[in-house]
């Protein structure tokens, strides 16, 4: 049974009633009875529920229908669709002129089955008891008590109504005992009497809610810890991938570092010659020493880039210029590119917005894409080995970075699985480089994918977010 709360339409109760509710109303006047039951039935019709109003004196079916129609203008449609039934209490409770609790219980189950088959949200019932003879009171109380079992497991809510004028203290006590709670309308004012069973149920619900809230808090904390552990593992894995790639490029990096160092030494030697000459040329020596400083700074820049890529540090969110970051990576891979006979071209758009993210991690993405392309083309024995790296402003925001090679291309299966962990098309490959690329790009709010080029080869493209 669902515990979804239902709006009764009765102001004093509001939406505190769940399916399975069995409550009652003591009333003094016919006006009080009509006000309550019209609001109750109108609320049920508004919520796509099946409604059954069992009418007894002092009301007639005609009076109940007319009063409800004044509040629900399209009542005729509901009646025609059998969504709303208004029936006589004597026809419902006293078939063959006798009261039979078992027959009534069976009738409720049959009615519920038909209502459920028609797809209604549930069933809302109200019935009056002025028809009840004193000789049947005890049997009726037993029936009402047993009805709690029928109601408790169904999408059903039942409101029973009793005239105060005909109920003495014993009858009132019986009614309170057989219902979850009692409403009383006296002199235009409302009273609510909760039974012990309802109070226990509320206490149990409160306890369950508190337990559920605590479990949600604990589960949320567990998920946060697991998420943090996953981020830490991804950071560690990305760092290992960077260090491994840098080791693979050690010869290329050594060449990149040696160039400015060699130039520095050469310039320093030249400056010494100009200063040690019989007629020192101070102006030329000054210019040569200036070039020496530039080459020394260039050496420092290269070393700093290498240190940044090798360093293990928490992710950062900075604004930086993507074209400069790409050129730095190309410089680090120049030796590997030349060794494999690859020709590199760049088409880097001007005026791009700044990228928002971790510069080192996104350079790692570019580095992996370039190395993958170079390795793919190294297997090509004929034709040019061309690598094109481009950037452009993406139509829907962000910057599009593309790395296109002229390698052998990919088969359909490889396109589908290229970014999966441990999937590789290279002999001896681990299959983690592109998987790490996807993790980094997606963690930055971007996306990465592979596509075919117009000629041979593959294009790997990613959209990076801007600040």
Tens-digit pLDDT profile for residues 229-259: 666 656 666 666 666 665 655 655 665 566 6
pLDDT, position 431: 60
Buried b (16+ CB within 10 A) or exposed e, 65-104: bebbeeebeebeebbeeebbebeebeebbbeeeebbbeeb
CA–CA dist 360, 236 (Å, integer) = 14
Which phi and psi angles does 355 have, rounded to 5°? -75, 145
pLDDT, position 148: 80
User: Which residues, including other chains, have CB under 8 Å from residue 210's CB and lie 6 or more apart?
Assistant: none
Among residues 143, 199, 155, which one has the least CA distance to residue 20?
155
CA–CA dist 131, 327 (Å, integer) = 93
List, for residues 363-407, the tens digit of each pLDDT value: 888 888 998 888 888 877 777 889 999 999 987 788 999 999 988
Tokens of 217: 């808090």
Tokens of 64: 């109940």
pLDDT, position 277: 75
Assigned CATH class of 5-194: alpha beta
pLDDT, position 1: 45
Among residues 66, 21, 43, which one has the least CA distance to residue 183?
21
Which phi and psi angles does 82 have, rounded to 5°? 60, 30
* pLDDT lower than 70: segments of the chain: 1-5, 14-16, 194-205, 226-227, 229-260, 263, 267, 278, 295, 297-315, 412-413, 415-416, 421-431, 454, 467
Determine contact, residues 434/418, Cβ cutoff 8 Å: yes
CA–CA dist 317, 80 (Å, integer) = 65
End-to-end Cα, the chain, rounded Å: 51
pLDDT, position 54: 93
User: Which residues, including other chains, have CB under 8 Å from residue 61's CB and lie 6 or more apart?
Assistant: 55, 86, 87, 88
Among residues 87, 85, 34, which one has the least CA distance to residue 58?
34
pLDDT, position 213: 79
Q: What's CA 271's distance to the chain center, in Å?
A: 67
pLDDT, position 2: 46
CATH number belonging to domain 313-467 = 3.30.565.10
């Amino acid at each position: 049974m669902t515990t979804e709360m239902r709006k009764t339409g009765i102001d004093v109760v509001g939406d505190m009633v769940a399916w399975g509710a069995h409550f009652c109303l003591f009333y003094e006047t016919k006006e009080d009875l009509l006000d309550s039951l019209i609001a109750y039935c109108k609320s049920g019709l508004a919520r796509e529920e099946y409604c059954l109003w069992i009418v007894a004196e002092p009301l007639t079916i005609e009076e109940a229908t007319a009063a409800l129609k004044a509040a629900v203008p399209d009542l005729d449609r509901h009646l025609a669709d059998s969504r709303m039934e208004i029936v006589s209490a004597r026809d419902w409770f006293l078939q063959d002129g006798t009261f039979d609790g078992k027959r009534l219980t069976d009738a409720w189950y049959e009615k519920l089955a038909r209502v459920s088959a028609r797809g209604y949200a549930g069933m809302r019932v109200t019935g009056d008891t002025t028809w009840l003879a004193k000789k049947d009171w005890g049997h009726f109380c037993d029936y009402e008590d047993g009805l709690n079992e029928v109601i408790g497991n169904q999408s059903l809510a039942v409101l029973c109504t009793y005239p105060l004028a005909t109920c003495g203290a014993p009858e009132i006590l019986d009614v309170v005992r057989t219902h979850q709670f009692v409403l009383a309308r006296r002199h235009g004012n409302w009273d609510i009497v909760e039974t012990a069973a309802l109070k226990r149920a509320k206490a149990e619900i409160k306890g369950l809610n508190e337990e559920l809230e605590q479990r949600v808090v604990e589960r949320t904390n567990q998920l946060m810890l697991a998420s943090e552990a996953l981020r830490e593992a991804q950071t560690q894995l990305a760092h290992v991938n960077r260090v491994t790639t840098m080791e693979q490029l050690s010869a290329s990096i050594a060449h990149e570092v040696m160039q400015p160092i060699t130039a520095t030494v050469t310039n320093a030697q030249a400056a010494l010659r100009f200063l040690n000459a019989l007629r020192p040329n101070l102006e030329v020596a000054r210019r040569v020493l200036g070039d020496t400083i530039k080459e020394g700074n260039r050496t420092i820049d290269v070393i700093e880039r290498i240190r940044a890529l090798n360093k293990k540090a928490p992710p950062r969110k900075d604004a930086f210029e993507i074209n400069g970051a790409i050129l730095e990576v190309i410089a680090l891979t120049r030796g590997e590119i030349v060794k494999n006979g690859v020709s590199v071209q760049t088409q880097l758009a001007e005026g791009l917005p700044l990228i928002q993210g971790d510069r080192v991690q996104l350079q790692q993405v570019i580095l992996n894409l370039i190395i993958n392309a170079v390795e793919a083309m190294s297997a090509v024995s004929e034709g040019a080995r061309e690598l094109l790296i481009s950037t452009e402003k993406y139509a829907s925001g962000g910057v599009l970075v593309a790395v296109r090679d002229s390698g052998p291309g990919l088969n359909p299966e490889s396109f589908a699985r290229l970014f999966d962990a441990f999937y590789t098309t290279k002999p001896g490959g681990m299959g983690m480089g592109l998987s790490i690329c996807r993790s980094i790009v997606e963690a930055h709010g971007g996306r990465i994918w592979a596509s075919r080029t117009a000629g041979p080869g593959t294009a790997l493209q990613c959209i990076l977010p801007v600040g």
